[in-house]
Structure 1
Amino acid sequence: MSWLQVIVLSVVQGLTEFLPVSSSGHLRIVSTLFWGEDAGASFTAVIQLGTEAAVLVFFAKMIWQILTGWFRGLFNKEQRGQDYRMGWMVIAGSIPIGIIGVLAKDIIRENLRNLWITAAMLIAFSFVFIIAERTSKKTRGFEDLTMKDALVMGLCQCLALIPGVSRSGGTISGGLFLGLDREVATRFSFLLAIPAVLASGLFSLPDAFDPAAGQAASGAQLLVGTLIAFVIGYASIAWLLKFVGNHSFEWFAAYRIPVGILVMILLALGVLQPF
């Protein structure tokens, strides 16, 4: 990979990881449009470590409370409060994507990276956002979260394995369908992504240097890309949490649909190749 490619794709990763527009889809599109080749799922998974580090820093206080509350409750039944339950909910909600991610590794890294699929998902899943926004009661807060909510949102997170869907979009939509407040669904979506993204990035690290599909990157390139994704990702989190307080996710659907249509036109004209 060239350094320009690494920098551009890392900026795209930081900007799109937390917005419900599909970071993997955008990386796939940008890489193919400007460099004629898919950077690969392994490179994508590794630089996601940067954006996930941004989550760890941004939500450090909340994460620490959950971790300490979970460990206290693990050894003392009298201290099993909301933080203890939240810890188990994050663990349980992370199991589905862990299982599917391992079992379907080859399909995810090759077959599902077809740009026709990415474009179709950008369009189709936009209507899921719209329906979720218009049907959700948005009345349930953090204290109302249950294990059922965690499992449902965890299953929705599995959809993010398909480029074009969006991890945050899938989980947040699931939360809205469950009646969660928009900001609550967004914050829990971030927490739910931590185990999955960290595991995926570390698991994919060896393949990023010598991938079976996609392009290889040097250690220095992966480090710089991860740092860029961290800085921009941190700013994106702050912006999104402020945005969702007063705005509907339908705004993102209004962006995704034209992008999906544009990609289909470029594919039909031969400007882009599906693989």
Structure 2
Amino acid sequence: MTFFEIIILAIIQGLTEFLPISSSAHLILPAEILGWRNQGLAFDVAVHVGSLMAVVIYLRKDVVDLTVAWFSHGLGKQQTTQSKLAWWIIIATIPGVVFGFLMKDWIALNARTALVIACTTIIFGLLLWYADIKAKQLKTIEKIGLKEAIVIGLAQAIAIIPGTSRSGITMTAGLMLGLDRESTAKFSFLLSIPIILGAGLFSVLELLGSVAKVNWNELFYGAAFSFVAAYLCIFLFLSWISKIGMLPFVIYRLVLGFVLLYIVLG
């Protein structure tokens, strides 16, 4: 890849991993529309590592508190609010892991196309809009229970389909369950940590079994630019989401989806 392509793809990953507009869709699009060469597994791992570092560092206090609470109280009878939340994150991660393991190859062969991305971008964008305008926004993140964890976890499993958006579908589910915007966004970001980590480790194992050459400069710059973009994205999103709502992202998804449909079918 050229340095320009590295920067663009890394920034795309960093921004779209946490915005409700689908990172997988945007990483596929340059190859589909601009004819760019596929960035490859190693670069994909690198930019996800950058995004993972950003969310862990930004939410470091929550990550430390949840980890300490789980090891201190998670396996005992006297659960705390934090240890319960840690359990809900673990439980919500399971459907995505199972579905991803079972369907990963089929999705890669049949669903990573511009047409699929166009349709899912529009459909799940409209669903996000519906959830946002109908949301009661009565619950904070501390009020999440087993039901919410299971529903959000099942929603996250759907995100293996390109164009769905992992953050978008989990926020949609959270809003429908009555969470306020900031709480559903924060839970979605916390939920991203184990799923990105798991997917990254799986990809590393694949990479270790590959004979492909690795360009370490590409990986370093990819991870670095992805980290910066993701960190800024998380900061701005959590600062603004309660005020601006999901409508700007819905509009973006609809425009992107119909442009893609025009390109594919036109």
TM-score tier after normalising by the smaller chain length: over 0.9
**Alignment map for 1:233-244 (pairs within 5 Å):** 233-244=230-241
Structure 1 residues 264 and 41, CA gap change in structure 2 (3 angstroms) = farther
Pick which of 198-207 and 64-73 moved more: 198-207
| Aligned residue in 2 for 1:220 | 217
Look up the SS of the partner of 2:157 in the other structure.
Answer: helix
Q: Does 1:264 align with 2:254?
A: no
Q: CA deviation at 1:263?
A: 1.3
In 1, distance between residues paired with 2:209 and 2:264?
Answer: 28
Pick which of 38-47 and 16-25 moved more: 38-47
In 1, distance between residues paired with 2:41 and 2:119?
Answer: 19
Structure 1 gaps, min length 5: 270-275
The answer as to whether partners of 1:32 and 1:38 remain within 8 angstroms in 2 is no
In 2, distance between residues paired with 1:40 and 1:221?
Answer: 11
Q: Does 1:247 align with 2:244?
A: yes
| Aligned residue in 2 for 1:272 | none
| Aligned residue in 2 for 1:114 | 113
| Aligned residue in 1 for 2:61 | 61
Q: CA deviation at 1:46?
A: 4.2
Letter in 1 for 2:144: L
Pick which of 5-14 and 177-186 moved more: 5-14
Structure 1 residues 168 and 2, CA gap change in structure 2 (3 angstroms) = same
Structure 1 residues 142 and 130, CA gap change in structure 2 (3 angstroms) = same
Q: CA deviation at 1:203?
A: 1.1
Identity %: 33
In 1, distance between residues paired with 2:41 and 2:82?
Answer: 34
Letter in 2 for 1:29: L
In 2, distance between residues paired with 1:209 and 1:218?
Answer: 14
Q: CA deviation at 1:76?
A: 4.9
Letter in 2 for 1:105: K
In 2, distance between residues paired with 1:40 and 1:111?
Answer: 18
Q: CA deviation at 1:243?
A: 1.6
| Aligned residue in 2 for 1:148 | 147
| Aligned residue in 1 for 2:228 | 231
RMSD, aligned CA? 2.1
The answer as to whether partners of 1:209 and 1:218 remain within 8 angstroms in 2 is no
| Aligned residue in 1 for 2:71 | 71
Structure 1 residues 155 and 42, CA gap change in structure 2 (3 angstroms) = farther
**Alignment map for 1:137-176 (pairs within 5 Å):** 137-176=136-175
Letter in 2 for 1:148: K
TM-score (norm 2): 0.92
The answer as to whether partners of 1:210 and 1:216 remain within 8 angstroms in 2 is no
| Aligned residue in 2 for 1:195 | 194
Q: CA deviation at 1:133?
A: 1.0
Q: CA deviation at 1:42?
A: 6.6
Q: Does 1:23 align with 2:23?
A: yes
Q: Does 1:89 align with 2:88?
A: yes
Look up the SS of the partner of 1:164 in the other structure.
Answer: coil
Count of residue correspondences: 266
Letter in 1 for 2:8: V
Q: CA deviation at 1:65?
A: 0.5
Deviation per CA, 1:171-211: give whole Å up to 9, x if none: 00000010011110000001111111111012112545887
In 2, distance between residues paired with 1:244 and 1:255?
Answer: 15
The answer as to whether partners of 1:28 and 1:39 remain within 8 angstroms in 2 is no
Q: CA deviation at 1:33?
A: 2.4
Look up the SS of the partner of 1:245 in the other structure.
Answer: helix
In 2, distance between residues paired with 1:113 and 1:67?
Answer: 35
Letter in 2 for 1:85: K
In 2, distance between residues paired with 1:102 and 1:81?
Answer: 32
In 1, distance between residues paired with 2:108 and 2:37?
Answer: 14
